Amino acid sequence: MSVDQFRAMMLREEDAKTVATVENLTVDALPGEDTLVKIEYSTINFKDALAVTGRGKIVKSWPLVPGIDLAGTVVESSNPRFKAGTKVVLTGWSVGEKYFGGFSQYQQVKSEWLVPLPEGLTTRQAMMVGTAGFTAMLCVNALERAGITPASGPVLVTGAAGGVGSVAVAILKKLGYQVVALTGDTAKHDYVATLGASEFADGPQWADQPRALEGQRWAAAIDTVGSKVLARVLAEMQYGGVVAACGLAGGADLPTSVMPFILRKVNLIGVDSVMLPTQDRIAAWNRVVHDLPIEMLEGISATTVSLDDVKSTAERMLDGKLKGRVLVDVNA
């Protein structure tokens, strides 16, 4: 199919630095996968911000169209499951890292990466969820599979004002859990409280290295931060507590000991949304529709930017100046 020129952000490496520009492309510049999608919305996740600014080693192939999420409409596909006009969503599969991603008005992707848009969601709402909300749902699933119920006790969510954290708070509240939030910024408390946090754990101790074991506080936790924060979360877990870890906003290190695991039977579960099998993705997306009601989804703070604003917005995200989700309207 012939498509006139369209706009996309392209990352190139020049003198060991990342250069991000918005350019006019044609379909011939795309990777030639089996499905062409007209994109309506993407998002800026923490990983996207690292890629666009060059502050993290995210990009695996140059040049690259970044954007690990996208939602839009199939234009054409050689896969009969995806007829022209089908609404789809894509997260993960190293798109926006190794393969061309969502910061473009059109993209060619492998059909096996796509999930049909769940009934009841618009493409904008799907990107309100995005990788961040999808990961939050996977974290909640992990806690439930490990036996955590609302009767187990308080659940701590770290990075609770961010993309994953804010959706996790909302889902947990909907399911009846007592949610305690760690935001790192008291100015964000009112916002997180509206999502369902009943109290906050913020304090100067989170910047310090914890002891091997601290006082027992949490039945479960969803951690998006890593490093010293995750070390303290582990040290403060109740006996038999469960932590679902999915992020490293505070660092990839984990300065802890075996003590929480062998003396308090703490379970640390890693959550990955990148290579999750397709059927598990479909199940998780369908659950999002049920457990994150539209009115609650719309209550999550969202900033919408154009392709031209992606780089400056990514800088603000890494500097901790944003809350909630950031949508990219690629056609704005």
Q: Angle formed by the axes of helices 123-145 and 278-291, to 10°? A: 100
User: Same domain, yes or no, for 159 and 135?
Assistant: yes
User: Same domain, yes or no, for 265 and 160?
Assistant: yes
Q: Angle formed by the axes of helices 310-318 and 46-53, to 10°? A: 110
Q: Angle formed by the axes of helices 163-174 and 123-145, to 10°? A: 70
Chain position carrying tokens 């309207």: 329
Please check whether residue 271 is in contact with residue 166, taking contact to mean a CB–CB distance below 8 angstroms. Answer: no
**What single string gives the DSSP state of each residue in 189-230?**
HHHHHHHT--EE---GGGGSPPPSS----EEEEEESS-HHHH
User: Same domain, yes or no, for 145 and 252?
Assistant: yes
Please check whether residue 39 is in contact with residue 104, taking contact to mean a CB–CB distance below 8 angstroms. Answer: yes
User: Same domain, yes or no, for 107 and 173?
Assistant: no
User: Same domain, yes or no, for 222 and 244?
Assistant: yes
Distances (CA, A) of 116 to 9, 111, 122: 25, 10, 11
The answer to whether residue 256 is domain-embedded is yes
141: helix, strand or coil: helix
User: Same domain, yes or no, for 16 and 43?
Assistant: yes
Domain containing 172 equals: 130-270
User: Same domain, yes or no, for 222 and 105?
Assistant: no
The answer to whether residue 293 is domain-embedded is no
User: Same domain, yes or no, for 81 and 186?
Assistant: no
- pTM for the model: 0.84
The answer to whether residue 296 is domain-embedded is no
pLDDT in tens, 4-43: 799 999 999 999 899 999 999 999 999 999 999 999 999 9
Residue 146: partners with Cβ closer than 8 Å, 6 or more residues away: 220, 242, 267, 269
Which of these three, 270, 293, 321, is where a domain ends?
270
The answer to whether residue 123 is domain-embedded is no
For position 1, what pLDDT does the model report?
Answer: 47
User: Same domain, yes or no, for 140 and 254?
Assistant: yes
For position 291, what pLDDT does the model report?
Answer: 86
pLDDT in tens, the chain (332 residues): 457 799 999 999 999 899 999 999 999 999 999 999 999 999 998 899 999 999 988 999 999 999 999 999 999 999 999 999 999 999 999 999 999 999 999 999 999 999 999 988 899 999 988 888 899 999 999 999 999 999 999 999 999 988 899 889 999 999 999 999 999 889 999 999 999 999 999 999 999 999 999 999 999 999 999 999 999 999 999 999 999 999 998 999 999 999 999 999 999 999 999 999 988 999 899 888 888 767 777 767 678 999 999 999 999 999 988 877 899 999 99
**CATH code of the domain covering residue 46:** 3.90.180.10
The answer to whether residue 176 is domain-embedded is yes
**What is the count of structural domains for the chain?**
2
User: Same domain, yes or no, for 147 and 224?
Assistant: yes
**CATH code of the domain covering residue 144:** 3.40.50.720
The answer to whether residue 224 is domain-embedded is yes
User: Same domain, yes or no, for 141 and 232?
Assistant: yes
User: Same domain, yes or no, for 87 and 139?
Assistant: no
